[in-house]
Structure 1
């Protein structure tokens, strides 16, 4: 394979990785920063990009939002036209097909390519609206992407460990950790019934790959356990857990987590008291928590840190990852906090 062919393959993969996870249209880069900006998308390259995105079997089976697909093709064709090149007929055909469809989906799919993992792609069913059915948990937020990347850079911290995620939403961070880090046990937790239903769908979609990965019998008398399965070496559970009930969760004898994680749950200060008390019940002298928080309001984050101090909990800042595993537009700064009991 010559260098030009390798470069073409790399560029197609670079574009595909952005598009299929629905990176904001105005944030899409067609050429990696280390490539020549005058790169020519000839007819063959146009067809490769189309076939790896809009026309791929993955997208046909689990489609992205129709309006997003149209917006991407419109942008791609405009870029090609601006460079003075002819546009492949298949791009026009795909665009005409899409504009004949109505944009009325309540759910869609996003796909995250993951390297060096047991899954090469994580597929998530999400709401097309940021707020749906009274919750923000039906779509993935940017701190989940950042935390996934951070965990991928710190595999040794999670390999073979018991992990509990609070407010997990549709499951991006947890599925990334399971696939990349191979923990011993991973427990997803949330409390919104619609979120839990969609989370169960996503976990089964990604991890029930064949007959070797079967659902376990669920006999939890408290009805807290919603789903349990085994994937590779990881015991996966989904539980219904309100933060104010964490003390009951601990008393019920669920396995003690080595690490508690959470992404983008620090947006409503009214919940900080129950969250901090629950976190204190989970933390011991030998475990810790890792929270990723999008900083939309500095005062809100400061309030949470005050709650930590008031409950004898300490924190330290973690170095942000290099964005190597997943691609997603980052519009606000993200902080990653390691939280632990004061000694």
Structure 2
């Protein structure tokens, strides 16, 4: 079943009838984006492919007491403008995938893993993990630089748009960087430029969610991880934490094999043992055995 579309002119007319004290709840004007944050209402022009979606989650400092009414003010929110289609504009990066929620749950349960750490995210997509990471750092009082990357320029622009939405606490983080990053540079003539970027960003923690899905991308991903996890002159103990959805066991086994050949150590991190703090979607639901979180380091 498809929702009926609303002509933007009709919507704007009815918004103009609201009393001044009431915020507009779905204006198509870009200047009003901060007034629709958290409402999760779709804004449509011609296709129903994009929506504003708000995810609510409990910060680690808040104790959940199921015997008392829910206090919505105690929740953090992550609002994103994202696609509801599997593929749009030739990319899968314009929506949030299930493994991102599982990785976010891990860091929300263990915020010390990213507290004060310089973070590099691979395949940042629309920015969900970037929002969570920046929020957790701000809540801890120990922020560092966060580098959000993607190979697709449109996706990276959407990522920056979402991270800087005024209703997201991440918009207050003063040290977030956005960069186009092609993993194949780790295997080609641009390796020197890639190494310069890795030296500049100097990540202590590398993140990725649902980035292991195409066998053709495994060799460049592993090559990039090998470069990024190499100990720096003043920095040791770098790790990558990658969440993936097991859609094809052969793809997973291929990643393990190529990583082992590249002298990368892999350890599986258990999923957070609690009810999901994020509303399940058709893609993210189902058996928890579909998801794995891997800790990767250089040998």
Using the size of structure 2 for normalisation, the TM-score is 0.70
2:216 to 263, 270, 292: 270
Matched, 1:124 2:124: no
Structure 1 residues 323 and 243: alpha-carbon distance in aligned structure 2, compared to 1, 3 A threshold: farther
Structure-2 separation of matches of 1:59 and 1:205: 8
User: What is aligned with 2:295?
Assistant: 338
Higher helix share: 1
Whether the 8 Å contact between 1:171 and 1:199 is mirrored in structure 2 is yes
1:238 aligns with 178
Match of 2:206 among 257, 260, 266: 260
Conserved? CA contact 2:78–2:168, under 8 Å: no
* Structure 1 pair 160–60 and aligned structure 2 pair: CA distance change class (3 A): closer
Matched with 2:8 is none
Distance 1:105 1:181, change over 3 A: same
CA distance in 2, matches of 1:135, 1:320: 28
- Is the 2:79–2:168 contact (alpha carbons within 8 Å) kept by the matching residues of 1? no
Q: Does 1:309 align with 2:268?
A: no
Question: Is the contact between residue 230 and residue 298 of structure 2 (CA under 8 Å) also seen in structure 1?
Answer: yes
Q: Which residue number corresponds to residue 104 of structure 1?
A: 47
Q: Which residue in the other structure is 2:194 paired with? A: 249
TM-score (norm 1): 0.62
Where does residue 188 of structure 1 map in the other structure?
Answer: 148
Instruction: Tell me which residue corresponds to 1:19.
Output: none
Secondary structure of the residue aligned to 1:197 is helix
Distance in structure 2 (CA, Å) of the matches to 1:260 and 1:298: 24
Q: Is residue 149–residue 323 contact of structure 1 (8 Å, CA) maintained in 2?
A: no
Matched, 1:114 2:54: no
SS at match of 2:96: coil
Partner secondary structure for residue 200 of structure 2: coil
Whether the aligned pair in 2 keeps the contact of 1:123 and 1:206 (CA below 8 Å) is no
Distance in 2 between the 1:135 and 1:304 partners? 22
Aligned residue pairs, count: 233
User: What is the Cα deviation at residue 154 of structure 1?
Assistant: 1.4
Deviation at 1:208, TM superposition (A): 7.6
Counterparts in 2 of 1:310 and 1:206: CA distance versus 1, 3 Å: farther
- Aligned match of 1:146: 102
Q: By how many angstroms is 1:278 displaced? A: 0.7
Q: Structure 2: 5+ residue runs without aligned partners? A: 1-24, 27-34, 61-73, 232-236
> Cα offset for 1:284?
2.6
Q: Secondary structure at the match of 1:302?
A: helix
Asked if 1 retains the 8 angstrom alpha-carbon contact of 2:206 and 2:241, the reply is yes
Aligned-pair CA distance for 1:292: 0.1
Aligned mate of 1:326, from 260, 278, 291? 278
Q: Greater CA radius of gyration, 1 or 2?
A: 1
Deviation at 1:331, TM superposition (A): 2.9
Is the Cα–Cα contact under 8 Å of residues 164 and 186 in structure 1 kept in the other structure? yes
Cα shift readout 1:282-313 (whole Å, capped 9, x = no counterpart): 00342010000011111111111111011111
Q: Which runs of 4+ in 1 moved over 3 A?
A: 57-62, 206-209
Tell me the secondary structure at the aligned position of residue 227 of structure 2: helix
1:254 CA drift (Å): 1.5
Question: Aligned-pair RMSD on alpha carbons?
Answer: 2.8
Output aligned runs, 1:4-23, within 5 Å.
none
